[in-house]
């Protein structure tokens, strides 16, 4: 008997299936009988235009000719390969949606609440570390499973650990700007924490943490930026990618109008476009895993978290897409919170920059730009990706232990 479907993801499913179809369309456009094939075979200026691509084209055609096959054999091989890839992707999707794993973690008590936000206390003694996650994903990526929880590991290392859960934006939060989140809600959470604290921001949360630390240095002993973007136009593809994201804003306004928030599926679509064919590839790989293995369970846990997103208030979405991505306001030192410029150079306390060098969401060059402006910084280049650095199978080696070692220097300065 086939197990029932447990999930609707990956979200938005039609987009991911469409991108897989687009890949197939691009591949089959060069098969025999299409104008593209003639250009592909006869013109050095045609697709593929790179020298490496042209060399591969010539190698394939030469191998076919040597074996006594015409271009039609290549077309048949492509169609067979696409069919196998599609079957593997669908198999992986079905295996994910039927997987029995479910997150059963119980949240610790909250020492402060406001609106939908909570400051969760994971316990521990010693210096307090307050983690600030992104506004567009659930905070529990830092408390994913019993074995993949930085929040539950750190108290055993001698640190009191707090996590700011922003919560689902209600009617009030949907009018919030970045200033409302930083100078309002985050500052009040800081005041509720036993401080001064080490303020650690992850991804977008790092930008908010930096702004809060500059406003309230009396409540912050040290600052940690984990996979935090800064120069949104950095990197070889940075300007094009950032401006493409900003250019989508006018079309997204219609989607935000009914609820004054950017819907979860729209946010997921923006992330998917960073690596259009990556979703299909990772589900093909998942289809090959033993479903009872720890690796398969971790995949499901992370995928469930990715699909359990949070809408982004429309004013914040406009500031991020137009201001951060379009005009690169943080990198140009033109981003202000409550009238104060946000500049890493303005923070004169200890700092830690955890930068994953395989990050596809925040290019390492973008995060490094902030680290270079910090005065007293420990820069750690982690052999991981954006999410795997904090919650992946190798997270303890990639980030947790190096971060703890830096915390020890803050707790007991020389």
Residue with tokens 């928030």: 261
Which pLDDT score is estimated for 24?
A: 67
pLDDT value of position 317:
98
pLDDT-derived band at 40, boundaries 50, 70, 90:
very low
Residue 182 is predicted with a pLDDT of 98
Query: What's the pLDDT band for 273 if we cut at 50, 70, 90?
Result: confident
- The crossing angle, in degrees rounded to 10, of helices 294-306 and 278-287 is 150
36 pLDDT band, cuts 50/70/90, is very low
Query: Percent of the chain scored above 90 by pLDDT?
Result: 75
Give me the residue label for tokens 């009988």.
Answer: 33
Q: Is the pLDDT of residue 174 over 90?
A: yes
Query: Mean pLDDT throughout 244-273?
Result: 94
End-to-end CA distance of the chain: 64
Whether the per-residue pLDDT at 390 is higher than 90: the answer is yes
- Put simply, whether the predicted model's pTM sits higher than 0.75 gets the answer yes
Q: In terms of Cα–Cα distance, which of 172, 171, 164 is closest to 135?
A: 164
Do residues 316 and 177 lie in contact, with contact meaning Cβ atoms separated by under 8 Å?
yes
310 touches 169 (CB < 8 A): yes
pLDDT at 43 over 50: no
Kindly tell me if the per-residue pLDDT of 262 is higher than 80: yes
Where along the chain do the CATH 3.40.50.1820 domains lie?
110-235+311-411
Q: Which CATH class is domain 110-235+311-411?
A: alpha beta
Q: For the chain, give the mean pLDDT.
A: 90
């Amino acid at each position: 008997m086939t197990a029932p479907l447990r999930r609707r993801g990956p979200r938005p499913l039609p987009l991911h299936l469409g991108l897989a179809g687009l890949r197939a369309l691009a591949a089959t456009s060069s098969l025999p009988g299409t104008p593209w094939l003639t250009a592909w075979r006869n013109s050095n200026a045609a697709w593929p235009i790179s020298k490496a691509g042209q060399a591969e084209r010539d190698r394939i055609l030469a191998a076919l000719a040597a074996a006594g096959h015409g271009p039609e054999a290549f077309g048949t091989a492509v169609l067979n390969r696409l069919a196998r890839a599609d079957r593997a992707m669908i198999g992986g999707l079905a295996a994910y949606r039927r997987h029995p794993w479910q997150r059963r973690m119980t949240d610790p008590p909250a020492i402060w609440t406001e609106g939908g936000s909570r400051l969760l206390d994971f316990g521990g003694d010693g210096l307090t570390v307050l983690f600030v996650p992104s506004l567009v994903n659930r905070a529990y990526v830092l408390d994913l499973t019993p074995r993949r929880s930085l929040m539950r590991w750190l108290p055993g290392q001698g640190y009191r650990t707090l996590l700011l859960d922003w919560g689902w934006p209600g009617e009030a939060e949907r009018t919030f700007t970045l200033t409302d989140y930083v100078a309002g809600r985050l500052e009040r959470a800081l005041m509720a924490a036993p401080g001064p604290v080490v303020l650690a921001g992850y991804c977008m949360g790092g930008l908010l943490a930096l702004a809060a630390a500059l406003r309230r240095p009396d409540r912050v002993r040290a600052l940690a930026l984990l996979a935090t973007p800064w120069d949104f136009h950095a990197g070889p593809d940075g300007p094009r990618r950032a401006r493409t994201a900003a250019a989508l804003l006018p079309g997204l306004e219609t989607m935000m109008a009914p609820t004054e928030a950017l819907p979860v599926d729209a946010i997921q679509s923006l992330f998917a476009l960073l690596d259009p064919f990556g979703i299909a590839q990772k589900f093909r790989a998942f289809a090959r895993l033993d479903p009872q293995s720890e690796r398969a369970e971790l995949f499901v846990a992370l995928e469930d978290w990715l699909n359990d997103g949070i809408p982004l208030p429309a004013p914040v979405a406009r500031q991020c897409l137009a201001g951060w991505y379009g005009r690169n306001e943080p990198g140009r030192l033109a981003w202000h919170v409550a009238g104060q410029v946000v500049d890493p150079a303005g923070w004169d306390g200890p700092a830690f920059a955890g930068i994953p060098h395989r990050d596809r969401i925040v290019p390492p060059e973008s995060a490094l730009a902030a680290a270079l402006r910090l005065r007293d910084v420990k820069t750690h280049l982690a052999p991981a990706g954006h999410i795997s650095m904090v919650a992946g199978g190798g997270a303890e080696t990639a980030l947790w232990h190096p971060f703890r070692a830096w915390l020890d220097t803050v707790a007991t300065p020389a």
